[in-house]
Chain A
Amino acid sequence: MENFTPVSASIGGALIGLSAVLLMALNGRIAGISGVFSGTLFAESGDRIWRGLFIIGLMAGPLVVMTLTGHTPAFEITSNVPLILVGGLLVGFGTRLGSGCTSGHGVCGLSRLSPRSMVSVALFMAAGMATVAIANMLIGG
């Protein structure tokens, strides 16, 4: 239980929730990142610009935190290159096939008690936990 950070986690989570509520209140849209991002290319043409701007804002988030705090946010990755590439492919393909990710199903879907989102979250959490357990077993982590 080292590095337990419930306060910053809760503040960050509340901001994510605030973003989801704002996007619904102002634009009537679900803040599901995999869907918003994919739609920057594949949505109908009049439906792309707001998506691109949402993604630009999202990418600027760490810059704002860096500017305000003077610290670069931690980014530690232990996976080697083949695992990074396989992981990225699975995340991209899986979130589109399953119609959502941690934000669309996890935050937006669960908060409105969608049965599809409940199943999705249970499965991707279980798959993530199983993958980490197996990976640690194989490398003796």
Chain B
Amino acid sequence: MGKNISALIAGLIFGIGLTVSQMVNPEKVRAFLDVFGNWDPSLAFVMGAALLVTAIGYRLVWARSSPVFATKFQVPGNRTVDARLAIGAILFGAGWGLVGLCPGPALAAIIIGGSPAFMFLGAMIAGILVFELSPLNGRKAAPAR
């Protein structure tokens, strides 16, 4: 119960942050990526402020023995850079640059973005499904019945 309410509140704060910072506006994002043209560096401040708060906050949190509503902190332990990571990041960056939406804003923009936002989210879900239903997902195939 606590776990679910805390997730709802954390999600809401995240969505408000994306809106206030204008990460939900595709042209604002593309103007940030347009370093060789009419560059708008605003979104570097989004990343900078988020990193500052998270870097300090995580360290304070990890000084405790466990989270409030769970038994342990689940932090990825994999530190190996591989081709999947690199190719995935490049494909993601290309899509981000084409439209100006990454996954958080694509979800948050659904209420304000009309049909373009719906089309993008639909295509994004299709991309997720292609990955998750392919052998690339890393899970063992379901046993035959």
Contact = CB atoms under 8 A, between A and B. Distances in A.
Nearest to B116: A77
Interface string B43-79: 1111111111111011011101011111111111011
B124 A91 contact: yes
B111 interface: yes
Interface in B74-114: 74-76, 78-81, 84-104, 106-114
Interface residues on chain B, size class = 35 or more
Contacts of B11: 19, 53-58, 60-61
B85 A65 contact: no
Given A73-B25, A103-B104, A13 B12 contact: no
Contacts of B108: 58-59, 61-62
Of all A-B residue pairs in the complex, the 9 with the closest CB atoms, nearest first, are A61-B15, A98-B88, A92-B127, A12-B21, A88-B123, A57-B11, A127-B93, A17-B53, A131-B97
Interface of A: 1-6, 8-31, 33-34, 37-38, 41-42, 49-51, 53-66, 72-79, 81, 83-99, 101-103, 105-112, 114-116, 119-121, 123-133, 135-136, 141
